[in-house]
Structure formats: structure tokens, C-alpha cells
Chain A
Amino acid sequence: MRVPTAGDARTIFRLGLPAAVVLAGLCLASPAAASTPTDWPDTDPVSTLRALLIFGGIPLALGALIALLTLAPQIARGSPKGDSRTWWGEPVWFGGPAELAESSVSGRKALSGDADVASRSTGSTAVASAPKPSSAGSTAIIAMSPDLAPGTSTAKVGGAGARW
């Protein structure tokens, strides 16, 4: 008679363990296959409208409530878009000449007084139509420099812009 070896024990264990797991799962889940008890009272079927209200309306209402609570502080403060009063800081240059800071404060001086500098330096007017900020709350615009499309002369300024 052949004596079982350690390899045989491992084989039995490998086959028996999955089978035991499957059997245990079936035994534990057997109550789910039971039919409805006969002593339970019969209730009226739920109408479609009522089901929609319960399973659709309540989640939607909860979502709207959470969104309202999230956005309430911002709504109470008002939209800061375009409101210059929300920015109190002085203009700051990092790595730029100090005299440019004042000319850029108003923007008008930079546009009129430095326009000739721009044309001399870049060989063009170097003034492009800026993309208008979107009227939507946080809709973003990414715009490449309109005066440096691929294939145009490289003796112009380039860059990109964004709104947030």
C-alpha cells in the first residue's frame, strides 16, 4: 500500500479548500432562497409615481440640499469676478525694472506710452486683441497668442493666456 506523501497532502488541501469555501458560501446563503413567509400581511403594490418619488426625488433633493449648503457661502459673499475691490495688493514685479510697476498699475499708460517701445522691440505693434473674460462663473479660457500662429514670422512675441 502506498503511503501518502507531503505532496499528496498539499494536493488535497489545494482542491479541498476552494470546495469548502464554495460549500460554506452556499450554506450561509441558503436563507436567501427561502420563500416569503405565509404569515406576512399582503400590502398594496407601490405605484410607479411613488417609486420614482422615493428612489429619484429623495436622492435629488438631498443632492440639491448638499449643493446649496456648499455654495451658500459663496453666494452670500457674491461673485468676485470683475470686482477690483477684492484685490487690495500693490502691483509687484519679480525680476522686472521698478519703473515698469507704476506704468502697469493703470494699464492705460502702459498701453499708450509704451506702445512705441513695443513696436521698436518686436518689429510689430505687439498688441493683440485679448480674449474677453467669460461671463460664466468659473468657465476657463485658454488662448494661444493670436499674433504667433504656427508658420508665421518668429520675430514677434509669443505666449499664451488664460482666464479663471
Chain B
Amino acid sequence: MKRRTFLSLGAASVAVLGTPWFSGCGRNNALHQALAKPQMLAHLCDESGIIEIGKAYVSQAPDESRIEKLTELLQTATSGSITSSKLSEIDLLMIEKSEEDFQKNNTVIVNGWVLSETEARQCALYFLIQ
């Protein structure tokens, strides 16, 4: 992660702290938990809503129906691979990745939601690790 990116995410980082209901998923590993947090959606719908989106995405993109595959896709960022050693940064990186998706029109419609590909995958991962 480049320093420029962190600076540009200053405002977003404040918002991340206020994410309403993500509280960890017990036995699942920390990287999966960190990746599976669609920050914007967490402010717009409840946990069951995220799970529904995740379930629908998995059904609509069967190639991405495995935890490993989703983890790999989510970890791939424009600026390089995200590693588990930077767990504390993942929230911000996912926000940036999601914003990039919108800028590049990398969007998908899942259950009617117009989402960035990243947040759709985050929902899918959240669904799978439950």
C-alpha cells in the first residue's frame, strides 16, 4: 500500500470506525474476517441483507463460490497484493478498491443492488464464512 493511498483515505478511515454490526466471526481466520466487510453496505442493510447479497452473488458467479477464490480476488489490488500482515489496513484498502471499481464501472447487479465487484465479493465471502 502506497503512502499516497493512505493519505487519500483519511476521511474514509473515520467512517470505518463507525461500521455498525461487524463483530468478528469466531472460528474463521482473521484474514477472511477482515476482507468480508463491505463497509458501505454495512451502513445500509443488516447482516441478513449482506448474507442474502452474498448468497445471490455466489449463485450468479459460481466460479467464485469458494472462500479461497474470493480471498484471492479480494486480495488482488491495483497497487499489489494485500497480505495478512496488514490486516489493520484491509478495511481501508477494500474501500479504495470498491471506489476504484465504481470509477472503472466494474459493477455488478446482485439482488437488484448496483454494487462494486469488490463489495459483492465481500458479501459473498461473508456469506461463505458464516
Does A associate with B in a complex?
A: no
Using a CB–CB distance below 8 Å, which chain B residues touch chain A?
Answer: none
